[in-house]
Chain A
């Protein structure tokens, strides 16, 4: 699964730690998800959606998209 986390962070001038604090997870988690090493659960994906204020499908994309 692909994602736009790096771009979305850059737009907000957030570091991975800033995003991790907003999500209530570790920086390793943000890094692993951002780099595609780990796919988040649906509840965590909804938390991403809440933090960025946009639908999940605008943050996470299927690999073929």
Chain B
């Protein structure tokens, strides 16, 4: 998941966030093109989440004690925990589904394994928007989440039509979350880039 930026953060957290987004996008592309099997994609995605853990650690080291950075630290830790829960729940659900003949209520419960962390992500995002006292950072987080949503709607609809014309393989619906996360990450990275690119900021950065 993506992490909003504060003034006190250096390049460390941003670098790790970009690395996570890039690695997740590459793994997603490889899987969607059948270049790697689901198990390999799962392991690579878990490995890419190491960048997230590094970004949170870098952020905590560089964070200021302001209220805004406290909200970001809570958001970062919450997103890290729920993202790990999502990946582990997704892997467990897929593995159990493939190896056992699961049906009925048990299948419903197993399907909830990755979904509950997703509800957690939504809660963490909502709590951040409530707790963030810096209105510009809150504005950026809102824009990033809207870009993530636009990516899900746009890519999902486009892929659905491509599937309908039998041009691409079927993509499970759970790809919505990675696409949302990548969209948010790209939006935050772009806004950080444009913030740094402002000439007036050079002397004060």
A contact residues vs B (CB 8 Å cutoff): 6, 15-17, 20, 24-29, 31-35, 37-38, 40-41, 44
Contact = CB atoms under 8 A, between A and B. Distances in A.
Interface residues of B, number: 22
Interface stretch (B29-37, B103-111, B172-180, B196-204): B196-204
Contacts of A33: 136
A2 to B, nearest CB: 13
Contacts of A20: 7
Given A17-B7, A20-B7, A24-B66, A29 B200 contact: no
Nearest to B200: A35
Interface string B168-205: 00000000000000000000000000110010110111
Contacts of B139: 38
Contacts of A16: 201, 204
Interface string B143-173: 0000000000000000000000000000000
Contacts of A31: 195, 198, 200-201, 204
Contact of A25 (B5, B68, B194, B198): B68
21 contacts: A6-B200, A16-B204, A24-B66, A24-B67, A24-B133, A25-B68, A25-B135, A26-B5, A26-B8, A26-B136, A27-B7, A27-B204, A27-B205, A28-B5, A29-B134, A31-B204, A33-B136, A35-B200, A35-B201, A37-B194, A41-B135
Contacts, number: 60
Interface string B1-35: 00001111000000000000000000000000000
Nearest to A27: B7
A65 B8 CA distance: 35
A8 to B, nearest CB: 13
A35 B7 contact: no
A29 to B, nearest CB: 4
Q: Which 7 residue pairs of A and B lie closest in terms of their CB atoms, listed nearest first? A: A27-B7, A16-B204, A29-B136, A26-B7, A31-B201, A15-B204, A25-B134
A38 B136 contact: yes
B67 A28 contact: no
